[in-house]
Every structure is written in C-alpha cells, then in structure tokens.
A and B are shown apart, each in its own frame.
Chain A
Amino acid sequence: MADIFDAYALADAWDEMFVRPGEVRTAYEPVLAALQPIEPSELRFRADQMARAFTDRGVTYAFAGEERPWPLDLVPRIIDALEWDLIQRGVAQRVRALEAYLSDAYSHCRAFEDGVVPWRLLLNSAHFHRSAQGVEPPGGVRIHVAGIDLVRDEAGELRVLEDNVRVPSGVSYVIENRRAMTRIFPSLFAEQHVVPVDGYAGRLLAALRAAAPAGTQDPRVVVLTPGPGNAAYFEHALLARLMGVQLVVGHDLTCRNNRVWMRTTRGEVPVHVVYRRLDDDFLDPLHFRPDSVIGCPGIMNAAQAGNVTLANAVGNGIADDKLLYTYVPDLIRYYLSEEPILPNVESYRPDEPGQLEAVLDQIDQLVIKPVDGAGGQGIVIGPKADAKTLERTRKAVAADPRGWIAQRPVALSTSPTLAGERMAPRHIDLRPFAVNDGTDVWVLPGGLTRVALQEGNLIVNSSQGGGSKDTWVLAEGPTEQPATLTPDGELPEVAPRQLGPDGNPAVVQEGAQQQ
C-alpha cells in the first residue's frame, strides 16, 4: 500500500529516522508504525488543528509582519535514553566550564595569565562589562539558564554549534509543543514512554530562589520583560505564569538605596531576584545604553551592592562569543580536568596569524559567522553563496578578523517532516536547556528541535522561516513503575453520586392535543 513515506528519499546527511531507505532506527519504530497507515488528508487535518490551537493560545511569532501560528511538525524527534545521557552530561559539562570561565574572567583572570585564552579575547569583547567585575553572585552562579545548540554531523556525531548563556529563549515552545502533541495526536504516544517536560518551571523557580542574596527570607522573584511588543513576550508570560511570579516591565521597578522595589497597589515591595529577559545593553540606562527606556535605572548598582540578583548575570556575553566558542574544549580541560564530552565543529580563528589567509583562500568552502550575531543573521554559507556575497564577505573578514569565525560546513542531520502531502527530509538541530541552581546543572529532557522548512536549507531559526518538532527523550528500562504497588490494594470507597431528576418524563404526557 502506498503511504506518506513511500517517496521519502534520504538527503546527503545523517537521517534521524532511517538508517537507509526502508530500514528504520529502533527508537522510531512505534512512531513510524503509527504514522504509516494515516492518510495524507488526515495528517493535514491534524496539522491544521494544531495551527488553530496555537493561534488560539497565542503561541505565535511574527513573520513578515504577520502573526503566524508557531510551526510544529507532526513527526517527533526521538532521542533514546543512552544518547540522552551523553547529551545531558555534555551540556552540563559545558555549562560548568563556562561558569568557571566567567568567574575567572571577572576576577583573577588565571586562564589569560596561563595563556589558555588570549587577553585580546576579553579586552576586545563588546560584551565585557567592567561593571560586572568583582560582583560575586550568590552560589557562584552566573549562568542560571543556558541553551546549548547541538547538531548531528554526517557521521552521526553530535557536536556543539554554539553556546547561549545570555538570554537563551525557546523553552516555552518545548512546553507548548508537548502540550499540543499530547492533545492533538495522543495516539502517537501510545507505545512509548516519553519523559515529561513540565518540570522546567519548577526547576527554574528553585534555581532563581536559590540565587537570592544571602540572608533573604522568602525571596521575591520577578521576570523582567521588554514588554508585549517583544518577539518572546509569550515566553516571558508563560514562565511567569507557570512559576506564579510577577511579570514586570522596567518602569514597574524602582531603585532606592541600592535596592530594587516593585510598585504595587499595596505600596512598594522589595524584589530580590530578577530573571531578566532583556539584553545587558538595555538593562540599566545609568550603566549601559543611556537611551534605553525599557530598563530600570539603578538596578546594576543594586546588583553590585549584592542586594538583588540578576539572572543571567551581566557580562555573560564574553562566554558565548563565537570566537570564545573555539576555546571551550580547552577551557573544559583547563578548569575541569575533563575531556570534552561533546566536540565542537571544526573552526578557524581568522584573528590568529596564518589562519586568516587559510580562511580567505577557501572561503567558498567554509561557513563564515559574525562572532556576535544572533538568530542566524549574517551567516554566509560558502558553498551556497554567489560570487558577489563571497567577495563582500572576504573583504569584511580581512578588515575585521576578530569579528568573524569560519567553520567546516556541517550537513545537519535530517528528519522526516510533513511537506505538503508527503514526508520529506529536512535539516534539524537541537537546543537543550540547562538550569543551574548552584549545586547541580539540570538539563530539561529533550529541548527545542528546530527544522529548516525549505528543502536543503541549513538555517533553522524561526525568524528565518524555521519550524520545530516535539522532542522526545525515551524513558529507560522497563515500563513498570519503579516502586511496585500493593498489587491487590483495594481502592478507597468513595460515596456514590447523588442523583436528581434527569428530566426524563416517567409518564407519557399526551394530555394536550395540538390543534
């Protein structure tokens, strides 16, 4: 019988579902079996339902000036327990190393003295803030939340593509994707045991409370958003709602005596932890951009005085600079005395002697990235770029070698994705989210899988027309509950329901003839 996977032709990349045409990977067997018999029109119907549900819930993003429902593909991305263990350890390791680097860079600078990282990396970084120097955050945590972007290369190996330790976003989509999938496509879950994702807000709140200034009884946490106009406003509101804390904008807060207060109908209330979702530059017009109207003047002084904790800390940008990225494996060895669990993508540093020439020579075979670009902006993929773009990029890199890195192009792994009425391979990545509470780095099972919806496209950002997939981490081991129940425990007796008239007439009422 013909089915939606019939015409599925593997692309020139590792496919997440199929080893080769017709041979499915074990973890995907039940999902494939559930999807195969479904008619294309039925899949479309569900996809439409999904889009409507997202629109109704306000899970949308702005694309070309239009409010579009968050694009979620119906085929989940599945990670088995063994591989998840690797990812989780690798991500946690990375976060620990970056924490160590930040702590070092804002105090003793040992790594620079020891020559592990060149000084210019710190001193030339636009994200290095003197105001963060000497601020010792409670519990030593600067990266309360991290998003580490991973890709799978042609050989099937997972590699880190970039680190996000300033204000990583996207976790709300992980939560909403799962919610939508369980409601719109419950039958897919029938045969498998997928680890839930709804513990995130609890973990985040616990980490934020743990980060409160020492000696605070019952710390008050708030989420600071740029406002409803921001692209990630939905996420800010969702996190505040799930944590049960206030969502504030800059002018809801006021600073006096190096303390932060929140204006309420019952007067001003002290605030201890600010989970801020705006960039350093906009946070405090007294310290950073003076034209920022969405920040809170004085909040940085309060943080320096140790009266409020900013999460994530100011100045983290030096740790997710794309040039620093190339040093992270060395940092892991240097600070943790461990070998990196997840490798980097092979990269060049144009600002090092000799490497600039090598990059310029083979620019048409490399991916060139600006070091502080976000959202996939400014990336040039050599093999796909036209001569004019390449020439422009060559000039730009030559003029500012510190501003760029070059990487081997990785053909991101593909996953079957609904395209029209059939399945087609599309490139995907993975952003797991880590929460650091000072004693433990916890990684949310799964993460956000983004899909490049156009054929052959390698850029997955939603601002560039990317979609997403629900990401399943399969539970390990037997399907039985770990603690065995009393097998024949009687259920408690609950009183029977009270019944009232059910409205059904007991006697036929024919007394009045219709005339």
Chain B
Amino acid sequence: MNDVILSRIAEALTWTGRYVERADTTGRILDAYLHRMLEDPWRDEDVACRSLYAILGVDAGGERVDMQQVLDQLAFDARSTCSIEGALGAARLNARSAREAVSSEMWECLNSTWHALADQRLAARRTGPYAYLELVRRRAALFFGLADSTMSRDDSWRFVVLGRSLERVDMTVRLLSVRVLDAAHAPDWTTLLSASGADEAYARVYGGFGDTPRVAEFLLLDRDFPRSALHALTTAEECLTALGRPRQDPARRPIGRLRTRLEYLDSHALEEQLPALLKDLQHACMDSAEAVAELFFPYQGPVEWAQEGA
C-alpha cells in the first residue's frame, strides 16, 4: 500500500514539473525572440538581448550582449537552472531521485531528452538553434502528456502539476513585466503572444491581432487558455485544495487571493493596475512556493556529526 508520499519525493516531483515547464517556456521565449530579431529591420541586438535577460531573471553584465551569448547562457548552460539545459538536467536528476514515483515512461522521456541535447547543441552551432528549441518544446509536451496519461490522479500527480502551474504563472508574469514596466526595451505584443504559444488562441478569441494591450488582458485574465495567469492559478489552487489543509492554508491563501482578484477584475481598470498587479502576482507565487516547501517538505539537510567540545 502506498497511500502516503515522502516529503523528499514530493519536493522532487514539484521541481521536476517546474523545471520542465521552465525549459519549455524558455525555449518558446527564445524562439519567438530570435525569429523576431531576424525579421526586425530596426533591431538593436544588445537592447533586445538585455530584455531577454531581464525576463529570465539573469544578470546580463556590463558588456554588449549578442544572440550567441544569449544562447550560450540561456539555452546551453548546463550549470544554471535558468537555462534550458540546466533546467532539463535538474528536472532529470529530480525525477531520478523520485524514480519510483514517476512512471518509467516519464523518466525515460527526460533521460533520453537530456542525452539528445548534446547532439542538437552541436548542430545548433552550425545551423542555428531552431531544431534544438523544437526538440525541447516537443519533449516537454511529451513529458506532460505522459504524466497526464500514466500517472494516477493522486498526490504525486498533484505535486507535478502544482510545480508546473506555479512556474507558468511566474513565466507569464515575467514576460509581461518587461513589456509593462519598460516598453522601450520590450518586444512587441505579437512576440509576447508567440512566446507564450498563444498567438493562435488569441486570434480565435479576439479575431484580431496582437499589437494591442489586450494581449496583457488575454495572458492574465483568459479563463480558457492554459498559460494565462488566471488559468494556471486556478489549477494550482485546485491542487493545493486537494493537498493541503481545508482552511487557513498558508500555501493556498496567496494564490486564492490573487485568483479571486483576477477573476473579478474590471478589465477597463487593468491597464493602470497592471504594474502593481504583476508585482503582487510574482510575490504570491513565491510566497506560496515557500509555504508549500515549509508545509510539505520541511528541510532536512544531510546529517553531519559535530565533534563534542570541538
């Protein structure tokens, strides 16, 4: 009988979900940016690359940055979990440490992806990063598809989905922050949409085109699009409802508050509230993630013996 789940496993599952989502979203963002930059007649590479760094929360340093450096640091750097390769590596090791809780197919998906990356990285040096980014997107989709079809809807599954949802909100908020807080350096709205994989869904809802602040409304408030902040928050909240305490849940509270706020937000007032709202969303995600850690995986460091009297 396996009706309980180890804290350590729960933590590994949450972060597996988060890191795979991070790799996926980072890949989408890089793809949209690269495409835009090649086609933008008035591009300034340095400025565009800096806004990318800002989105992904990485320090760009004082020197001029170009696309190659962006790829080296944000895609190919295996040591940083802010890069695609680092995130996938961390997801793989987390899944390995929870090897008995994730299905074999999920583990193999991550493992084979990790091993396939090196070849694609070499090819990317020659022919550009498109195939690399595509591999990442496809495998992330495969991973979550396998989670969906091979895991029971038990707590293990909820932790994976919780991790993914929190990361989604975080990434969407990051994308929008750069646009809203500093429009001069930011990508256009259309690029934001394709970076969220939302261009076609948006066109269907608004029957129009992305160069309007309505994109912000869509990415935050749309009820049906799975990458919108509202949708991801709702999913996270559902997971926490099933996982946590029925009331006074410090992990669910920040999420639930923000979800309600988004749900009843007057969309006319969105534009002026946007900067504050984005900040609050970011904090809510962080607070919730910290509360989840405290609640479900109280940290136990590796045992160290101290010499008495030393």
Residues of A within 8 A of B (CB): 42, 45-46, 49, 178-179, 182-187, 189, 193-196, 198, 201-202, 205, 221, 241-245, 475, 479-482, 485-486, 489-492, 494-504, 506-507
Contact = CB atoms under 8 A, between A and B. Distances in A.
B161 to A, nearest CB: 16
B237 interface: no
Contact of B94 (A193, A475, A503): A503
Nearest to B206: A244
Contacts of A495: 57, 282-283, 286
Given A244-B208, A475-B42, 10 more contacts: A182-B34, A182-B39, A184-B127, A196-B39, A244-B200, A244-B203, A500-B11, A501-B90, A502-B81, A507-B302
Interface in B188-218: 190, 200, 202-209
A496 B128 contact: no
B203 A243 contact: yes
A504 B286 contact: no
Interface string B87-115: 00110111011000000000000000000
Interface stretch (B149-157, B175-183, B259-267): B175-183
Contacts of A482: 42
Given A184-B127, A243-B203, A482-B42, A502 B178 contact: no
Nearest to A182: B38
A209 B24 CA distance: 36
Contacts of A503: 12, 89-90, 92-94, 96-97
A481 B128 contact: no
A256 to B, nearest CB: 24
Contacts of A49: 127, 131
B50 A494 contact: no
B54 A202 contact: no
Contact of B38 (A186, A201, A499): A186
Contacts of B174: 494
A249 B42 CA distance: 41
B208 A205 contact: yes
Contacts of A201: 203, 209
Contacts of A196: 39-41
B178 A494 contact: yes
A107 to B, nearest CB: 33
Contacts of B18: 500
Contacts of A198: 39, 190
A187 B125 CA distance: 11
Given A475-B42, A485-B47, A500 B15 contact: yes
Contacts of A45: 127
A243 B206 CA distance: 9
Interface in B23-78: 34-35, 38-44, 47, 50-51, 53-57, 60
Could you tell me the dominant secondary structure of chain B's interface residues? helix
Contact of A492 (B44, B92, B177, B190): B177
B289 A486 contact: no
A480 B42 contact: yes
A310 to B, nearest CB: 19
27 contacts: A183-B130, A185-B128, A186-B34, A189-B38, A189-B39, A194-B41, A205-B209, A221-B207, A244-B204, A475-B41, A479-B41, A480-B42, A485-B44, A492-B178, A497-B57, A497-B81, A497-B82, A499-B81, A500-B14, A500-B15, A500-B94, A501-B11, A501-B12, A502-B90, A502-B93, A503-B94, A507-B302
A229 to B, nearest CB: 24
B139 interface: no
B141 interface: no
A494 B54 contact: yes
A183 B35 contact: yes
A82 B96 CA distance: 60
Contacts of B82: 497
Nearest to B133: A183
B185 to A, nearest CB: 6
A448 B204 CA distance: 27
B118 interface: no
Contacts of B19: 500
B5 interface: no
B184 interface: yes
A178 B44 CA distance: 21
Contact of A491 (B41, B51, B96): B51
A501 B15 contact: yes
A301 B50 CA distance: 58
Contact of B202 (A202, A244, A479, A502): A244
Contacts of B170: 498
A504 B208 contact: no
Nearest to A181: B38
B128 A485 contact: no
A501 B94 contact: yes
Nearest to B93: A503
Contacts of A507: 302
B38 A486 contact: no
Contacts of B14: 500
Nearest to A245: B207
Given A244-B207, A503-B96, A496 B40 contact: no
B184 A485 contact: yes
A3 to B, nearest CB: 18
A193 B96 CA distance: 47
A189 B174 CA distance: 29
Nearest to B53: A491
Nearest to A495: B282
Contacts of A506: 302
A186 B94 contact: no
B298 to A, nearest CB: 14
Contacts of B38: 182, 186, 189, 194
A182 B57 CA distance: 27
A491 to B, nearest CB: 4
Nearest to B51: A491
A408 B170 CA distance: 65
Given A187-B128, A492-B178, A495-B282, A243 B39 contact: no
A49 B92 CA distance: 29
A42 B206 CA distance: 43
Nearest to A45: B127
Residue with the highest number of chain B CB atoms closer than 10 Å, among A195, A202, A480, A500? A500
Contacts of A189: 38-39
A184 B130 contact: yes
Contacts of A178: 39
Nearest to A484: B184
Nearest to A486: B184
Nearest to A178: B39
The 5 closest A-B pairs by CB, nearest first: A503-B93, A244-B203, A475-B41, A492-B181, A500-B15
